[in-house]
Structure 1
Amino acid sequence: MNAILGGMWRAYLRRVVRLGFAAAIVVGVLTAESSMWLRTAADGHIFTVADVPAAPVAMVLGAQVYDDGTPSPFLEARLELARQLYAAGKVKAILVSGDHMDWGYDEPGNMWLWLNAHGVPAGRIIEDHAGFDTYDSCARAKRVFGVDKMIIVTQAFHLERAVTLCRHLGVDATGVGDTTMARFRAPWLQASAREYGAADKAAWDVLSGRDPVFLGRPETSVQEALDQG
């Protein structure tokens, strides 16, 4: 009896291993396909500050803010690129989109403060407090703020996904990506590796056509900023 049970158990384990191996192959193929889709769709739409075509709006995607309100180095690098775009006359307004789900944690509010302290006029900065992920930021830029054309600002490893999602959602989007944070080798490589999983999520978001976590009513704040001349 023990020999029979042992044989059944070994057969079961072999079946589980085969199924797990097959599942890993399927996931790997899907991830590779998703990553290729993002890369192909963003091709020709990624630039430097110097050569990016002008657009009415730049959208800065949120990242970590410290407890004292200071942007993390990764976020500060994004904000600096947006400042450069505004100073160069490449954009007339900056939309800062990030997480403000908890009252005590406010990415867009602190992004606004940084930009204003570094020379961007208050009336040119618009806050999106429900940019909980890249898909939500892109969808809300179009459906809430009425943005049809913009330059997306984030780190270079994130840019293909951001540009592709925004373009899929109806925004004529180009992108400018920060590479200065690559000097922090470990976090840069970790974040770059996470993009493979994020590619699968991006594909799912597009296929499902989901609404943002919070949509809300249309706002005129971007247009009001642009109307200042």
Structure 2
Amino acid sequence: MIGENLIIKSLQIALKIFSILVTFLIAISFIIFAIFTITNLIVYLNSKNSPLPLTPKDYAIVLGASVHGDSLSGVLRARMETAIDLYNKKLVKNILMSGDGTDSNYSETTAMKKFALKNKIPEEILITDEKGYNTYATILRAKEIYNINSAYIISQNFHLTRAVWIAREIGIDADGVGAGEVKEKWYYSSREFFARTKDYFQIIFKVTPYDEKNFNL
């Protein structure tokens, strides 16, 4: 009997510990979910475009995407075509093309510039930023390195909320111009849910992307 009582008491203690752990994990999960939800809501509410018609700005900032040699992916081609359209309509004076361009065998910015030149955009208004490795780095460098204060940010619609919010938070008069949608919208939308929270805290804590070398031309 004594042995059975010890077993029962041990099981009861184990169940209590398990119950506490489950409750703790549920509470932590709820807090984490709340943080992601609240930060996403803040970013969304502070990144809406003005309902007024587009007015001229100094720059179009084209966010990079994958290339194959000098051939742009469909996503990036749509972004470049949108930037070119803004320039032709005299809504921007310059085009900043940002992406990964530091590898001699792979350069998003080189391919973007060649595409713009083929479409008869004057070379003197084209600027390439080879160290725009991600959205956060691109926007910060646009402000800190290229002294951009007014810009249209160009990407697919799923991406614009985060990019425009970052720009406004660091003092750029920014609006987004959508370059269409993507096929895997559910995947990219899910990824953005986490990316918005990540960049929210990077802005709050003034994180320098990668390292100080990123802030050299």
When normalised by structure 2's length, the TM-score is 0.87
Aligned residue-pair number: 210
Aligned to 1:215: 214
Amino acid of the residue matched to residue 132 of structure 2? G
* Unmatched tracts of structure 1, length 5 or more: 220-229
Shift of 1:4: 5.3
Match of 1:14 in 2: 19
Question: Counterpart of 1:145 in 2: which secondary structure?
Answer: coil
Question: Is the contact made by 1:144 and 1:215 (CA closer than 8 Å) also made in structure 2?
Answer: no
Please give the per-residue CA displacement for 1:23-60, whole angstroms capped at 9, x wherever unaligned. 2211111111111111111123478xxx3211111000
Q: Distance in 1 between matches of 2:76 and 2:40?
A: 24
Pairing of 1:3-152 with structure 2 (within 5 A): 6-45=11-50, 51-66=53-68, 68-152=69-153
Higher Cα Rg: structure 1 or 2?
Answer: 2
Q: What code does the residue aligned with 1:94 have?
A: I
For residues 121-200 of structure 1, the aligned pairs below 5 Å read 121-179=122-180, 181-182=181-182, 184=183, 187-200=184-197
TM-score, with structure 1 as normaliser: 0.83
| Cα separation, partners in 2 of 1:155 and 1:7, compared to 1, 3 Å | same
Give the % identical residues: 27
Higher mean alpha-carbon deviation, 133-142 vs 4-13, is at: 4-13
Instruction: Tell me the amino acid that sits aligned with residue 198 of structure 2.
Output: K
Checking the alignment, whether the CA contact within 8 Å between 1:71 and 1:110 is kept in structure 2 is yes
Instruction: State the shift of 1:150 in Å.
Output: 0.9
Deviation at 1:62, TM superposition (A): 0.9
Residues 85 and 91 of structure 1 are in contact (CA less than 8 Å); yes or no, is this contact kept in structure 2?
yes
More deviation, 157-166/37-46? 37-46
One of 198, 203, 208 as aligned partner of 1:206: 203
Distance 1:46 1:161 in 2: 18
Q: CA RMSD in A?
A: 2.1
Give secondary structure in 2 for the equivalent of 1:42.
Answer: coil
Structure 2: runs of 5 or more not aligned:
1-5
Offset of residue 157 of structure 1 = 1.1
Amino acid at match of 2:58: P
Does the CA contact (< 8 Å) of 1:45 and 1:175 recur in 2?
A: no
Contact 1:31 1:200 in 2 (8 A): yes
- Residue 90 of structure 1: how far off its partner (Å): 0.8
Compared with structure 1, are the counterparts of its residues 16 and 128 closer, same or farther at alpha carbon in structure 2 (3 Å cutoff)?
same
Q: Decide whether aligned partners of structure 1 residues 168 and 109 sit closer, same or farther in structure 2, where only a CA change above 3 A counts.
A: same
